[in-house]
Every structure is written in structure tokens, then in C-alpha cells.
Amino acid sequence: MSDQRKDLDRIDIKILALLQRQGRVTKAAMGELVGLSASRCWERMKRLEKSRIIRGYHAEVDLGRLAKLSTFIVQVKLTEYSYAKARTFEAGIVGLPNVIGCQAVLGDVDYLVTIAAFSIEHYQAIMESMLDTLNVSFDYVTLPVTKTLKGDSDRDLPALLATSQDLEA
């Protein structure tokens, strides 16, 4: 268990779960829902922000409804992997507006890249541009997303964190 996790109690977890589901909840409503005053909730939120457990507040935007964008998960494997090539790839990928997510992973691939595009042709043009401009050779496999079943805001924090108790037993 991380040191930060030891400092959290069940009220902190309730606050985090509530904010994850309803980022615009008022301090008064939050206090009522978690059993604290609004000022105590505010103090706890500030502490969670300072410790970077809460990294920000934002709206969840449905890209498909906004602009009829399709999403593609791309498994990327750098050719002849090296730390320098990885740094070059990472530096180039962050500036691409159609890349809406990227995680470095362990296993048979090096990265999982999420790309938003208006069509298959647009997606292919994005990939061709990446191959031409990133100055790193890579192989990739495309997985078109047909439906999102669960996202970040759908996490059940109390249940997720309770699974660590299974490991400690």
C-alpha cells in the first residue's frame, strides 16, 4: 500500500468517489452526502489536491456526439526499441491533436495509443503522417472502438480500493 493511501480514510474515499461521478457537486451537497460540514469537505479536497490524488476537474465530452469522431486503439511496437527511440516517439506523440491518449505498456507492444478520427481514411492519413514525422520506425495494429462500456468516471473507487485488502490477507 502506498504511503498516500495510508493517509486516506473512508470519508476521503467517499469524497473522491463522489467527485469522480459528479465533479460539479457543491461543497454543501458533498458535506451532506459524506457526513461532514462544507468547510471540512473543502479542507479535505484541498489536501487531496495538494497531494495530487485529485489532479483536476473537467467535463467528460462525448466525441462521437460532438463531431462524429471515431476512436481507434493502436498497439505500437517500436522497431529495434531503445530508450532514445522511446523518448523521440513520446516527445512527438504528445503534440498530435488526434492522439487523445497514450500509455507506455509492458509486453509485446510498447504503447497503446488512442486516436480520434473522422473516418477510416482520416485515421489512415494520421498514421501515415505519424510514420513520416515522428522520426521513429514502428509497427502497429489497429483496433477500432465500436462501443465504450466503461470509462474513468465509471470506476467504483470504494470497491476497487477494497480489493487491496484481498492482497494483504
Do 27 and 41 form a contact (C-beta atoms < 8 A)?
Answer: yes
Q: Tell me: pLDDT of 167 over 70.
A: no
7-59 belongs to CATH 1.20.1090.10 = no
Residues of the chain with pLDDT > 70: what percent?
93
User: How far is C-alpha 87 from the geometric centre of its chain's CA atoms?
Assistant: 20
How far is CA 152 from each of CA 4, 104, 117, 144, 164, rounded to the nearest angstrom?
20, 18, 21, 19, 19
Q: Tell me: pLDDT of 73 over 80.
A: yes
Angle between helices 10-21 and 27-34 (to 10 degrees): 130
Residue ranges covered by each domain of the chain: 7-59, 63-144
Beta strands across the sheet bearing 111-117? 99-104, 111-117, 70-78, 138-144
CATH topology of domain 63-144: Alpha-Beta Plaits (3.30.70)
Return the pLDDT at 159. Answer: 80
Strongest mean pLDDT among 45-59, 80-94, 154-168: 80-94
pLDDT digits (tens, 9 = 90+) for 126-154: 999 999 999 999 999 999 999 888 877 77
